[in-house]
Amino acid sequence: MPKWTHLGLVAFLLLSAATAGAADIDWWENAALYQIYPRSFQDSDGDGIGDLKGITSRLGYLKEIGITATWLSPIFTSPMSDFGYDISNFYDIDPIFGTLSDFDALIVEAKSLGVKIILDFVPNHSSDENEWFEKSVNREEGYDDFYVWDDGKLNEVTGEREAPSNWISVFGGPMWTWNEKRQQYFLHQFQVKQPDLNFTNPMVREHMLDVLKFWLDRGVDGFRIDAVPHIYEKREANGSYPDEPISGWSNNPEAYDYHDHIYTKDQPATVDLMYEWRAYLDAYQAENGGDSRVLLAEAYSSVETLSAYFGNSTNLGTQLPMNFQLMYLDGYSTARDVVGSIDYWMNTMWRDHQTANWVIGNHDTIRVADRMGAHKVDLLNVIVNALPGASVTYYGEEIGMSNVEIACTGDSCEDRDGERTPMQWTPGQNADFSSGETTWLPVNPDYVRYNVQTERGVARSSLNIFKRLQALKSSSAFLSFKEEGGFSYEAVTEQVLQIIRTNKISEEYRILVNMGNNMEILDGLDSKTYEYVLVTAYSPRYPGNTVNLKERIILMPYEAVVLRWHA
Ligand SMILES: *[C@@H]1O[C@H](CO)[C@@H](O)[C@H](O)[C@H]1NC(C)=O
Ligand SMILES: *[C@@H]1O[C@H](CO)[C@@H](O)[C@H](O)[C@H]1NC(C)=O
Ligand SMILES: *[C@@H]1O[C@H](CO)[C@@H](O)[C@H](O)[C@H]1NC(C)=O
Ligand SMILES: CC(=O)N[C@H]1CO[C@H](CO)[C@@H](O)[C@@H]1O
Ligand SMILES: [Ca+2]
Ligand SMILES: [Ca+2]
pLDDT tens-place string over residues 151-194 = 999 999 999 999 999 999 999 999 999 999 999 999 999 999 99
Q: What is the mean pLDDT of residues 377-389?
A: 97
Statement to judge: residues 397 and 501 lie in one domain: no
User: In angstroms, what is the span from residue 189 Cα to ligand 6's centroid?
Assistant: 6
Q: What is the CATH number of the domain that holds 113?
A: 3.20.20.80
Statement to judge: residues 447 and 511 lie in one domain: no
Report the residue among 80, 187, 226 best suited for mutation to probe ligand 4: largest number of ligand atoms under 8 A from its CB.
Answer: 226
End-of-domain residue from the set 429, 449, 472: 472
298 within ligand 4 shell (Cβ under 6 A): yes
- CB of 424 closer than 8 Å to CB of 450: yes
Statement to judge: residues 404 and 299 lie in one domain: yes
pLDDT at residue 548 greater than cutoff 60: yes
pLDDT at residue 125 greater than cutoff 90: yes
Tell me what the pLDDT averaged over the chain comes to. Answer: 94
pLDDT value of residue 24 = 80
Indicate whether 89 belongs to any domain: yes
pLDDT at residue 541 greater than cutoff 90: yes
Statement to judge: residues 466 and 559 lie in one domain: no
pLDDT value of residue 130 = 98
pTM comes to: 0.94
pLDDT value of residue 410 = 56
313 within ligand 3 shell (Cβ under 6 A): yes
Indicate whether 258 belongs to any domain: no
End-of-domain residue from the set 411, 441, 472: 472
Of all protein residues, the one whose alpha carbon is nearest to atom 4 of ligand 2 is 236
pLDDT value of residue 505 = 85
User: In angstroms, what is the span from residue 236 Cα to ligand 2's centroid?
Assistant: 7
pLDDT at residue 2 greater than cutoff 60: no
Indicate whether 35 belongs to any domain: yes
| Complete DSSP assignment for 32-61 | EEEEE-GGGT--SSSSSS--HHHHHHHHHH
Ligand (nearest to CA of 241): 2
The model's pLDDT over 461-484, given as tens digits with 9 standing for 90+, comes to: 999 999 999 999 999 899 877 766
pLDDT value of residue 550 = 95
Alpha carbon distance 522, 468 (integer Å): 25
Domain assignment of residue 552, given as a range:
481-566
- CB of 510 closer than 8 Å to CB of 500: yes
pLDDT band at 12 (very low <50, low <70, confident <90, very high): very low
pLDDT value of residue 16 = 33
Q: What is the CATH number of the domain that holds 534?
A: 2.60.40.1180
158 within ligand 3 shell (Cβ under 6 A): no
User: In angstroms, what is the span from residue 140 Cα to ligand 4's centroid?
Assistant: 29
pLDDT band at 551 (very low <50, low <70, confident <90, very high): very high
User: In angstroms, what is the span from residue 41 Cα to ligand 4's centroid?
Assistant: 18
156 within ligand 2 shell (Cβ under 6 A): no
Residues serving a catalytic function are 226, 298
| Complete DSSP assignment for 389-409 | SEEEEETTGGGT---------
Q: What is the mean pLDDT of residues 19-32?
A: 77
- Residue 424 vs residues 61, 373, 395, 472: alpha-carbon distances, Å: 12, 19, 10, 25
If one counts the domains in the chain, the total is 2
pLDDT at residue 43 greater than cutoff 80: yes
Statement to judge: residues 455 and 550 lie in one domain: no
pLDDT band at 115 (very low <50, low <70, confident <90, very high): very high
Q: 521 has which bridge partners?
A: 554
pLDDT band at 13 (very low <50, low <70, confident <90, very high): very low
Q: What is the mean pLDDT of residues 259-279?
A: 97
User: In angstroms, what is the span from residue 229 Cα to ligand 6's centroid?
Assistant: 8
User: In angstroms, what is the span from residue 240 Cα to ligand 6's centroid?
Assistant: 16
Statement to judge: residues 387 and 280 lie in one domain: yes
Of all protein residues, the one whose alpha carbon is nearest to atom 9 of ligand 2 is 240
pLDDT at residue 458 greater than cutoff 60: yes
Percentage of residues in the chain having pLDDT higher than 70: 95
The model's pLDDT over 186-197, given as tens digits with 9 standing for 90+, comes to: 999 999 999 999
Statement to judge: residues 116 and 44 lie in one domain: yes
The model's pLDDT over 301-320, given as tens digits with 9 standing for 90+, comes to: 999 999 999 999 999 999 99
Of all protein residues, the one whose alpha carbon is nearest to atom 4 of ligand 1 is 201
pLDDT at residue 5 greater than cutoff 80: no
239 within ligand 2 shell (Cβ under 6 A): no
Of all protein residues, the one whose alpha carbon is nearest to atom 5 of ligand 2 is 236
pLDDT at residue 6 greater than cutoff 60: no
pLDDT band at 17 (very low <50, low <70, confident <90, very high): very low
pLDDT at residue 4 greater than cutoff 70: no
Statement to judge: residues 312 and 376 lie in one domain: yes
Of all protein residues, the one whose alpha carbon is nearest to atom 10 of ligand 1 is 145
Indicate whether 412 belongs to any domain: yes
Closest CA to 510 of 487, 538, 494: 487
Indicate whether 185 belongs to any domain: no
Q: Which amino acid is at 334?
A: T
Statement to judge: residues 362 and 486 lie in one domain: no
Report the residue among 82, 193, 265 best suited for mutation to probe ligand 4: largest number of ligand atoms under 8 A from its CB.
Answer: 82
Statement to judge: residues 546 and 452 lie in one domain: no
pLDDT band at 486 (very low <50, low <70, confident <90, very high): confident
pLDDT value of residue 411 = 56
236 within ligand 2 shell (Cβ under 6 A): yes
| Number of other CB atoms surrounding residue 494 within 10 Å | 13
pLDDT value of residue 3 = 39
